[in-house]
Chain A
Amino acid sequence: MHPAGLAAAGTPRQPSKRRVPVSQPGMADPHQLFDDTSSAQSRGYGAQRAPGGLGYPTASASPQSAFLGDPVSNMAMAYGSSLAAQGKELVDKNIDRFIPVTKLKYYFAVDTMYVGKKLGLLFFPYLHQDWEVQYQQDTPVAPRFDVNAPDLYIPAMAFITYVLVAGLALGTQDRFSPDLLGLQASSALAWLTLEVLAILLSLYLVTVNTDLTTIDLVAFLGYKYVGMIGGVLMGLLFGKIGYYLVLGWCCVSIFVFMVSWGSGKDGTRGTGLLGRVGGPWRHPSRGCQVGSLDQRPHTGELRSPGVAALA
């Protein structure tokens, strides 16, 4: 986790541009997510790349030439390092096609205070007033700066912790064996995948204009693991009564959280997760909303709006 003070040149990110901005002056630059350490590496590679292309060993440029002294091996090494640099470039270029790395980085830009507040919100969402996600110039603010933004750090950690706690619970009942951990993990992952698919199917069938991406859905569905961990731990401590009590409490809390997430200060934006989905009934009093970006009219969309949610 990165402390809030880190602010170097961040990665430009393009998450769902479909969200409508609410202007928030005085906010720190949300594009600076993490430190940019790539400049140090490229400097090192750049020095090696120049001699490799020509085939002419410039002994003064590479530091290893001092103790190698052999022009052929020098040239071979320079060529090899240039190949490595090109390979790294290729991988960096293509990795973004399969795994949206820049989008994922947004979801992990959290800090301790955010995690603490979010966990408190997941267990007790009843007193939280303002659920709106803040924007800065058409992009949502990083989770570090806004407690309402979804993140993937808590769901990922909660998933792993749940698998471990389930193993612990199995151990207290003398049913534990190490391969059961893997079984629990893949079972939980399968249920999560099933839920994501079910929600995507429902969103497609009901033809809502939504600016929820698939990763957002995974983040929201991953928040339930926090409640599950709480339930299992209470069950270990206090037996069946404690387990069912805490489980019921967490169920209601997650329900209230999902329903009221995204609604405005006075609840005028409509209900929670469904409030993020568009429609002509969206409340018009939201900051600087761009008309074409916000109201995606059905006539303008030739493809199904549900498919847009999958993008």
Chain B
Amino acid sequence: MAFTLYSLLQAALLCVNAIAVLHEERFLKNIGWATDQGIGGFGEEPGIKSQLMNLIRSVRTVMRVPLIIVNSIAIILLLLFG
């Protein structure tokens, strides 16, 4: 079973890319996961759904620029080494 660290890195990169391309207005609003729809104040238990929404929003905000860099590196490496 060739589940190596490199394939884990590839899978992680693909997952983060997938989270980054979720569009706020066209998609997340339609299923009620937009960031302006869920924040229920500073109540007690945030709940799983709001935690997920927070996670998606923070991944999209934080990882935008690093993803560009990492994707470019991946493209160059794949072009060179197949």
CB of B8 within 8 A of CB of A183, answer no
Number of interface residues of B (CB under 8 A): 17
The minimal Cβ–Cβ distance linking B53 to chain A, given in whole angstroms, is 11
Spot the interface stretch: B17-25, B27-35, B39-47: B39-47
CB of B51 within 8 A of CB of A186, answer no
The minimal Cβ–Cβ distance linking B13 to chain A, given in whole angstroms, is 14
* A269-311 to B contact mask, C-beta < 8 Å, 1/0: 0000000000000000000000000000011000010100000
In the assembled complex, A193 has its CB within 8 A of some CB on chain B: yes
In the assembled complex, A190 has its CB within 8 A of some CB on chain B: yes
In residues 220-246 of chain A, which contact B (Cβ within 8 Å)? Answer: none
Spot the interface stretch: A12-20, A32-40, A134-142, A202-210: A202-210
CB of A190 within 8 A of CB of B3, answer yes
Q: Chain B contacts of A304 at CB under 8 A?
A: 46, 51, 54
In the assembled complex, A6 has its CB within 8 A of some CB on chain B: no
Number of interface residues of A (CB under 8 A): 16
CB of A187 within 8 A of CB of B46, answer no
In the assembled complex, A189 has its CB within 8 A of some CB on chain B: yes
Q: Chain A contacts of B61 at CB under 8 A?
A: none
Answer whether A204 and B3 are a contact pair too, CB < 8 Å, given A193-B8, A299-B42: no
In the assembled complex, A194 has its CB within 8 A of some CB on chain B: yes
In the assembled complex, A191 has its CB within 8 A of some CB on chain B: yes
CB of A187 within 8 A of CB of B51, answer no
In the assembled complex, B68 has its CB within 8 A of some CB on chain A: no
The minimal Cβ–Cβ distance linking A305 to chain B, given in whole angstroms, is 9
* A177-191 to B contact mask, C-beta < 8 Å, 1/0: 000000100110111
The minimal Cβ–Cβ distance linking B47 to chain A, given in whole angstroms, is 8
CB of B51 within 8 A of CB of A190, answer no
Considering the complex, give the chain B residue whose CB is closest to the CB of A299.
B42
Q: Which 5 A-B pairs give the minimum distances between C-beta atoms? A: A190-B8, A186-B4, A205-B51, A190-B5, A187-B3
28 A-B contacts, Cβ less than 8 Å apart? Answer: A183-B2, A186-B4, A186-B5, A187-B2, A187-B3, A189-B5, A190-B3, A190-B4, A190-B5, A190-B8, A193-B5, A193-B8, A204-B51, A204-B55, A205-B48, A205-B51, A205-B52, A205-B55, A206-B48, A206-B51, A207-B45, A207-B47, A298-B44, A298-B45, A299-B42, A304-B46, A304-B54, A306-B51
